[in-house]
Structure 1
Amino acid sequence: MKKAISFLLAAVLGISMLAGCGAKEADPVAVNVGAMKGPTAMGMVKMMEDDESGATAPNDYNFSLLASPDEVTPMLVKGKLDIAALPANLAAVLYQNMEQNLSVLAINTLGVIYIVEDGDTVQSVADLKGKTIYASGKGSTPEYGLNYILEENGLNPETDVNIEWKTEHAECVAALAANPSAIAMLPQPFVTTAQMQNENLRIALDLSAEWDALQEGKENPSGMITGVVVVRNDFLEENPEAVELFMEQYASSVDYVNANTAEAAALIEKYDILKAAVAEKALPYCNIVCITGDEMQDKLGGYLEELYAQNPKAVGGALPEDGFYYHGA
């Protein structure tokens, strides 16, 4: 009898120990995340709030909101950031410069560039013929994207339109304010800012939609892409579970931002990205997404191919290999 009781106690103790092991919390993982103030960071605001309350555990995020790609790049290269949201073509450039120590986790922002005017003269890309367009981003993705759309619609960017390149988006907004008949190519949220200054300003063309129209019928359609989320491969190899958890939490955050515009706008102001009034109006046009896997590779790979065709330096001199695209742990 004593032996039976001893055996029973030992069994209960063993089960208790196993239960304790099963209930043990995972060790916290510090994850340094960077994003630029604008659409590429706006999809993260629910994660940022959840992190403050500890709801993202065991991941413990340290978010850095930066002003430009010039600030993000050195922090990523030096290992001060583990995960970062940055321009799509910059990710390809860094993939080459960092000796392939980089993978794309997701597309986080599709095209945010629009043609706007105070009037009703532009209904299609063909209507841009003979027009003067104020734009910024010469030598970067806005120029390459516009050139592709113009050329595929039978217009020569050099002779059929007059593109006046400005240094900053704000200069284009000022040009629109000074000349009511002007046409401009602007990204969000600058479109919304300009519309708040001139209520008659309308979105004439969504360049992301124009790109998609040109891709219809293709086996692996690409997309016009603004931003992606990347991870350093050495961090990924050391912390695959933390990266997978980040992906789940980021996807949920994007869903929340897209479904709760007013609440998300308040968070966007809380984290000093944009004023809530501007954010609430701009959000529906910011194309914030979380596209992963094969669809990500098709859309991003095709986009980078178009940039490479115009200027190989735009993607680091060579197209990234398949290992550039993350497909899960």
Structure 2
Amino acid sequence: MTRRPLLALPALLAALALLLTGCSGAADDGPADLSQVTLRVGDQAGVQQALVEASGALDGAPYRVEWAQFPAAAPLLEALRGEAIDVGIAGDAPTLTALSSTDRIKIVEATRSPSQGGLALLVPKDSPIRSVADLRGKTVSPTTQGSIGHYLLLRALEEAGVRPDEVTISFLQPVDAAAAMNSGAIDAWSTWDPYTAVAQQESGARILRDAKGLGTGLTFLDANTAALDDAGTRAALTDFTERYGRALQWARENQRENAAIYAKLTGRPAAVADLMAQRALRDIAPLSPELVAELQGVADRYSGYGVLRNPVDVGSAVRDLGAPAGS
């Protein structure tokens, strides 16, 4: 009887240990060195960056934060999908639009604004349009396709019994939409702050229909799967979400200072800044089964409007940062 298999046993055990170490991933490598991590955060119009920096929420963060600014959620989410950024801030409708075309984006944190960030359907101050039903035969910009402005417009038309094909929809970036409404090239504009506040205060625009009863007021921190699967980036992201919550709390507790942020950021009069700051107040909303069900209702309705490329299963798109990477 040969004993050669016994002589090979130590090598076999060593190989098995190495295999198990490889399967266990970064957890066996100890804590990630966050001093080597740069978290790339996407923002819209500089609002959240200004808030986080003014609040001091990132003071002492062991990683670097690199901000990237976008005019609206659609290009932000495209950058997120392309891994040009690690995490970005976007509303419910654009998040769902992105989720309908990729599985590489996950929701990692939710916030809710009672005032829904100034989301509203606007008309010029001297417009003869007095109700959403009056939009039949008119041209409306819901800002970008798949945006919260788009969702509000479709919800408002449904509520008023107006078919979408009875309205000419023109997708325009915010700056272009503002100019188009001021020139009369469009009859109405569905948008959000800071654009709503500026239009109201500087051009006298009227709110034809706000988002009360039509929208959720939810905004999300969305991350891509590459960031979530990287131990260092995931650890930084987990810390960032906590610090972002602190920044939102600071805004609620320091409303005068918060309004000053908007005044400096926009260069607009105090009336505009105060209105924006008040409507921007929000708080962290737990990613509970109830919230998931609420967002699923929005997804189903948006899919019914024919906007989403594919149906969205919200539950599978929510990622608990406390769960193991890859789960």
TM-score, normalised to structure 1's length? 0.67
- Where does residue 305 of structure 1 map in the other structure? 300
- Where does residue 227 of structure 2 map in the other structure? 235
| 1:146-171 CA-partner distances (Å, limit 9, x unpaired) | 22332234333334xx4463634445
Q: Per-residue deviation at 1:250?
A: 0.8
The structure-2 alpha-carbon separation of the partners of 1:184 and 1:244, relative to structure 1 and needing over 3 Å to count, comes to closer
CA contact (8 A) 1:101 1:234 kept: no
- Where does residue 67 of structure 2 map in the other structure? 63
- Where does residue 286 of structure 2 map in the other structure? 292
- Where does residue 191 of structure 2 map in the other structure? 186
- Where does residue 320 of structure 1 map in the other structure? 313
Residue of 261, 264, 272 corresponding to 1:267 = 261
Residue of 103, 106, 115 corresponding to 2:121 = 115
CA contact (8 A) 1:89 1:315 kept: no
CA contact (8 A) 2:72 2:144 kept: no
- Where does residue 143 of structure 2 map in the other structure? 137
CA contact (8 A) 2:71 2:174 kept: no
CA–CA separation in structure 1 for the residues paired with 2:188 and 2:100? 37
Supply the AA of the counterpart residue of 2:59: A
The structure-2 alpha-carbon separation of the partners of 1:77 and 1:190, relative to structure 1 and needing over 3 Å to count, comes to closer
Residue of 200, 209, 213 corresponding to 2:212 = 209
CA–CA separation in structure 1 for the residues paired with 2:304 and 2:84? 33
The percent identity for this pair of structures is: 15
Residue of 24, 28, 39 corresponding to 2:34 = 28
The structure-2 alpha-carbon separation of the partners of 1:224 and 1:132, relative to structure 1 and needing over 3 Å to count, comes to farther
- Where does residue 254 of structure 1 map in the other structure? 248
| 1:244-300 CA-partner distances (Å, limit 9, x unpaired) | 322221112122234434423443566xx5335344332323465532311542332
CA contact (8 A) 1:37 1:65 kept: yes
Gaps of 5+ in 1: 1-24, 213-222
The structure-2 alpha-carbon separation of the partners of 1:287 and 1:310, relative to structure 1 and needing over 3 Å to count, comes to farther
The structure-2 alpha-carbon separation of the partners of 1:133 and 1:318, relative to structure 1 and needing over 3 Å to count, comes to same
CA contact (8 A) 1:103 1:324 kept: yes
Gaps of 5+ in 2: 1-30, 323-327
CA–CA separation in structure 2 for the residues paired with 1:72 and 1:138? 12
The structure-2 alpha-carbon separation of the partners of 1:93 and 1:134, relative to structure 1 and needing over 3 Å to count, comes to closer
The structure-2 alpha-carbon separation of the partners of 1:196 and 1:244, relative to structure 1 and needing over 3 Å to count, comes to same
- Where does residue 245 of structure 1 map in the other structure? 239
CA contact (8 A) 1:136 1:169 kept: no
- Where does residue 86 of structure 2 map in the other structure? 82
Number of corresponding residues? 281
CA contact (8 A) 1:113 1:188 kept: yes
Q: Per-residue deviation at 1:114?
A: 1.2
CA–CA separation in structure 1 for the residues paired with 2:50 and 2:60? 13
CA–CA separation in structure 2 for the residues paired with 1:184 and 1:323? 33
CA–CA separation in structure 2 for the residues paired with 1:124 and 1:92? 28
| Aligned-pair Cα RMSD in Å | 3.9
2:290 paired with 1:283? no
- Where does residue 22 of structure 1 map in the other structure? none
CA–CA separation in structure 2 for the residues paired with 1:137 and 1:164? 9
The structure-2 alpha-carbon separation of the partners of 1:169 and 1:65, relative to structure 1 and needing over 3 Å to count, comes to closer
Supply the AA of the counterpart residue of 1:309: G
CA–CA separation in structure 2 for the residues paired with 1:254 and 1:268? 14
Residue of 194, 198, 207 corresponding to 2:203 = 198
